[in-house]
Chains A and B, each alone.
Chain A
Amino acid sequence: MATFIPNPRPKTALIVALIIGVATTMYATSVAQSGSSDPEFEGNAGAVIINGLRVIKRQDLHFGTIAPSLTEFGTVQTNRGRNNDSVCGPTLTCFAPGTRARFTVIGEANRIVTISDPGSIWITDAAGNQMLVDSFTGAGSGNNTHWRGWQRLRPSGISRFNVGATLYVNPNQPRGTYVGQFTLNFEYQ
């Protein structure tokens, strides 16, 4: 004599039973097709789990305070390798020096990460005046660094990455505070 106890989750139980049934059928079919007297076989299964890639911004890119020429174009380049070392074009007057953008990349030790930049962006003041920023350049603290190429993360899994760029200042560029954003993409190779 048996006592019937209602299953509180009958749908779940049914699904499990079906999966077991299918697996059993596949196993039997596989053995039958092999034609071997030995019904056993081995299948390799593997997985590589690596640390997820994270990038943290440490410092924004800033070209400093600049007085434009009344009549001529000019450029300001922030140095990707060093802070406070921007190159001010001869037609401009630069006051507070520019700063590079700084990032910390955290991921799998010794893995290669490819990096891509936006190419160019515009920065804008409150009145809608614009200036172009392009020629992004990058440098890191890893063993090998190439912009738009790759960077090998350090054995600690943490590397720094710095970005410089070029700002184009128009003749008699209107005074104001210009801001914009740029996005970098880091990806495991």
Chain B
Amino acid sequence: MKRIALAALIAGTAILPLSAHAANVTADAGAKIVAPLQIANSTALYFGTIAPSLTSSDSVVVSPAGSKTCGSELTCLTDDHTAAQFKVSGEADFSYTIELPDSITISNGAGGSMTVDEFSGSKDGGKLSAGTDSFTVGGKLSVGANQATGEYTGTFTVAVNYQ
């Protein structure tokens, strides 16, 4: 009798179809990758050739538009100054912002140095129409009294970020 009862229970359990025990479901997974933001420098920020005062310090300012203001204590000998130019590329129609440094030091390799600060851009950010855009950067060079002669160089970093 027990054997028969056991057989009946097994048969009962088998009534549940296998498909009712489990279910699979499929979903999509996706992502959109846009072009990375890139920036390239095509023209350096350059203040030209300057004769310092023997007794007073002063400054030279190059505007983002490329104009130069030479301090009254200085003599700006050349007119070859340039604002820095940058080209930005990325995803078309996306916007970006610009970060400029506070100040940097440029040096002549012989112990002489000058400070460049008050960096200013032609814009705070832009839109990548057709995937590209450009902007310029100017700054202020502080020239010490009797500043040592030499060719002064340095680098500054400009960062751009998708907005």
A residues near B (Cβ < 8 Å) are: 30, 34, 41-57, 59-70, 76, 93, 95-96, 98, 101, 103, 105, 121, 123, 125, 131, 133, 163, 165, 167, 169, 172-188
Contact = CB atoms under 8 A, between A and B. Distances in A.
B: interface residue count bin: 35 or more
Given A67-B162, A165-B29, 16 more contacts: A30-B4, A43-B8, A46-B8, A53-B23, A64-B31, A65-B34, A67-B35, A68-B36, A95-B34, A95-B162, A96-B32, A123-B29, A123-B30, A123-B31, A169-B33, A184-B27
Contact of B33 (A34, A98, A178): A178
A55 B36 CA distance: 39
B163 to A, nearest CB: 9
B24 A52 contact: no
A150 to B, nearest CB: 13
B48 to A, nearest CB: 34
Given A52-B20, A53-B21, A187-B21, A70 B36 contact: yes
B28 A180 contact: yes
Contacts of A165: 29
Nearest to A62: B30
B77 interface: no
B36 A69 contact: yes
Most chain B beta-carbon contacts within 10 A, residue among A50, A93, A96: A93
Contacts of B29: 60-63, 101, 121, 123, 133, 165, 179-182
Given A57-B26, A60-B30, A185-B22, A45 B9 contact: yes
B19 interface: yes
Contacts of B27: 57, 59-61, 101, 103, 163, 181-182, 184
